[in-house]
Structure 1
Amino acid sequence: MGNSNYQQNQPAQSNWQAPSREAASMAQPPASFENGMVLHINGLLNEVPSHYVALFHVLQIGATQVEAERLLRERLNTFKKGLQGSGFDTTSLRTDFISLVPRYETQAANRLFSKRYTEVPAGFELQKTFSIPYTRAAQLGTILALAGPAEIYDLVKVDCSIPDVQKAQEELRAACLQALKAKERTYIAAGFRLDTLVKALEENFTTTYPTSRYVGYQAYSRTSFEALRRGLLGLGKSANVAEAEHSTVYYYAPVAPDKYDVVIHPVVSQPVVQLSYSLAVRYQPRRRGKNKYFYLDASGQATPLDIK
């Protein structure tokens, strides 16, 4: 999930927080309109990512700008050596400069009748981020273990991608079109003449990445047995309960497949990229206009003619 989502995913007051971001294309019941109908097909494809990028943040303080740069460079070199020893390609590691700002401290100036605090320059604060690409999800554990000796602990986020999005979309579209043909055969068997209707098609693709699918909850009970004991014994005093800090549990909750007609790779055992496809086909009778004929006499009077 990465630390960047830690504050945004705080749970609500209830003990369980449902996923708040569902895919845009959800299944809808067949909608009917005057002299026609609409068929909906919704598909979901789960694809294991093949490319990952871990983004780390590092902060370094130094008495001077040069010292801050040197200390940060030493930490990054330590990290790079560890990555090289584990077989990672460090030539693809990218560093992004974030900020370099002076830091101040307060000094107390003792006077005869007062004490005054003055801010004085104390050093510099240097911040950078750097990204590490890798190809297997299990490699992230190795990367984190190598970051520790370099005193790098802030994993901001992990981005992932699949190599050929267009190919995955075509696979999902083809499966949904097959499901549409099967549904059409059901209606034809029920007596509908769909081949005589005008068709209009609408489609929509959405992609959901793992970063947005982490949710949290807190599992605990607020019952105070000491307060309950005091009440049962009739001591007449209310117990002061000091609440402990309760940890929040985070887990990956993929888009559920229950609202989809077609699901490709339904078993999800790790974070995946999820492609959703929504297809709506409208069937409407052809509009056939009927010509009207009139007989116009010499006086200009128009008389309708019944011509079949």
Structure 2
Amino acid sequence: MKLKIAIACLLFFGTISAQHGANQVYQTQNSNNYRENSNYQNQNKINFGPDGASYKINVLNNVRPDSYIITLGLNQESLSVKECNSKINSRLEGFKNSLKKLGIKEEEMFVDFISQTKIYDYKSSSTTNQVNLTQIDKGFEIKKNIIVKLKNTKLYDKIIEEASEFEIHNIVKVDYIKANTEKIYEEMFAEANVILESKIKLHQKFGKKEYEEVPQVAVNFYSIQPGKQYKNYTAFESANIEYESNQYNGRKHLVRQEERKNTTYYYDGMTPDFFDKVLNPDSPEVNMQFIMELSISYKTKIPKETPKKEEEKVYHFITPNGDLRVLNLK
């Protein structure tokens, strides 16, 4: 009876969460993140039979990072390599000096040389019958990235503003960094062990069996960067217009200009529904997500058979006098 009530509650809460779709309902449901989440539906389960028992446990942990690595890209064009490099370095030095005023140290910045390429353009000349285009050398372009370590996210907007002062507008990516992952591993493994003990007790209600003391254990532990978990959608409703184009009967062509539709991007991490345990589930921050997949298999103990005693063999012989006697071979 208790099992039926629990299932009813789960279905009830699932219905409640489905009532609040928001504009994300405009998104198609075939994204990679959705497929990844659906893969967990068959993982947190118990299998047991005459040969043994296996348990699969999944734990999700939302962890605030210790620091962020921001990569910003810039480029510079000029007629010569020397002039090009001098101009881009001047912009970089100015930007680095402005970051130092915000409290960011020199060792927390790194300039990565990306590429140096030639630039070509076309020069045109015309005659009575044709236009000639000739490709010409236009100079050089150098691309570099500046990578910045940031501990205080409140400085992020200020960094972007300072970057724009030096015509640095390309924010390439943001990586989230967590230093002590060993502590996270231990915490999640402890939670998984508690869940395992609970599942074993549930299993024993269906018939207790003796298993080998040392099980086979497999642990898969990894993290997912938030940058890989953003989705997007474009939400709008538009009128339907039907038109015909026939230039031979004098009808006018219809030219339709569409308004720009904004695309919304939002963070959509791993769905907690498919995990046995979620740590820090109610944090509104965009954090790193650590996942632990634990598989444990126990083999059924095979009772040891008591070795049978070898039966003593008795030998008889007849003496020359005709007497029957027992032969002792000890």
TM-score of the aligned structures, taking structure 2 as reference length: 0.73
Decide whether the 8 Å contact of 1:25 with 1:204 is kept in 2. no
Deviation at 1:40, TM superposition (A): 2.1
Q: Which amino acid aligns with 2:227?
A: T
1:249 equivalent in alignment to 2:264:
yes
Higher RCO by CA contacts (8 Å cutoff, separation 6 or greater): 1
1:113/1:204 Cα in 2 relative to 1: closer, same or farther (>3 Å)?
A: closer
Aligned match of 1:16? 27
CA distance in 1, matches of 2:261, 2:308: 80
The count of residues paired between Structure 1 and Structure 2 equals: 274
1:261 equivalent in alignment to 2:273:
no
Q: Which amino acid aligns with 1:245?
A: R
Aligned match of 1:69? 85
Aligned match of 1:181? 197
1:121 equivalent in alignment to 2:137:
yes
Deviation at 1:88, TM superposition (A): 1.7
Aligned match of 1:279? 294
Deviation at 1:113, TM superposition (A): 5.8
Deviations 1:12-71 (A, max 9, x none): xx9314451336983432234444332222111111011111011111011221221122
Deviation at 1:189, TM superposition (A): 4.4
1:199/1:115 Cα in 2 relative to 1: closer, same or farther (>3 Å)?
A: closer
Deviations 1:214-265 (A, max 9, x none): 11111112334x76xxxxxxxxx99875443322211111112111112211
Task: After TM superposition, list the pairs within 5 Å mapping 1:1-308 onto structure 2.
Answer: 15-18=26-29, 19-21=31-33, 22=36, 26=40, 27-110=43-126, 114-194=130-210, 199-224=215-240, 242-288=257-303
Deviation at 1:186, TM superposition (A): 2.8
CA distance in 2, matches of 1:143, 1:67: 27
Deviation at 1:272, TM superposition (A): 1.3
1:194/1:175 Cα in 2 relative to 1: closer, same or farther (>3 Å)?
A: farther
SS of 1:141's equivalent in the other structure is: helix
Decide whether the 8 Å contact of 1:23 with 1:276 is kept in 2. no
Structure 1 unaligned runs (5+)? 1-13, 228-236, 298-308
CA distance in 2, matches of 1:66, 1:24: 55
CA distance in 1, matches of 2:196, 2:88: 58
Structure 2 unaligned runs (5+)? 1-24, 243-251, 314-330
* Larger CA deviation: 78-87 vs 284-293: 284-293
Q: Which amino acid aligns with 1:167?
A: K
1:198/1:149 Cα in 2 relative to 1: closer, same or farther (>3 Å)?
A: closer
* Larger CA deviation: 207-216 vs 84-93: 84-93
Aligned match of 2:317? none
1:28/1:41 Cα in 2 relative to 1: closer, same or farther (>3 Å)?
A: closer
CA distance in 2, matches of 1:76, 1:159: 21
For the pair shown, which has the larger CA radius of gyration, 1 or 2? 2
* Larger CA deviation: 16-25 vs 177-186: 16-25
Q: Which amino acid aligns with 1:175?
A: E
Aligned-residue CA RMSD in angstroms? 3.1
Decide whether the 8 Å contact of 2:44 with 2:55 is kept in 1. no
CA distance in 1, matches of 2:90, 2:238: 48
Q: Which amino acid aligns with 1:193?
A: K
Deviation at 1:195, TM superposition (A): 5.3
1:260/1:39 Cα in 2 relative to 1: closer, same or farther (>3 Å)?
A: same
CA distance in 1, matches of 2:292, 2:196: 13
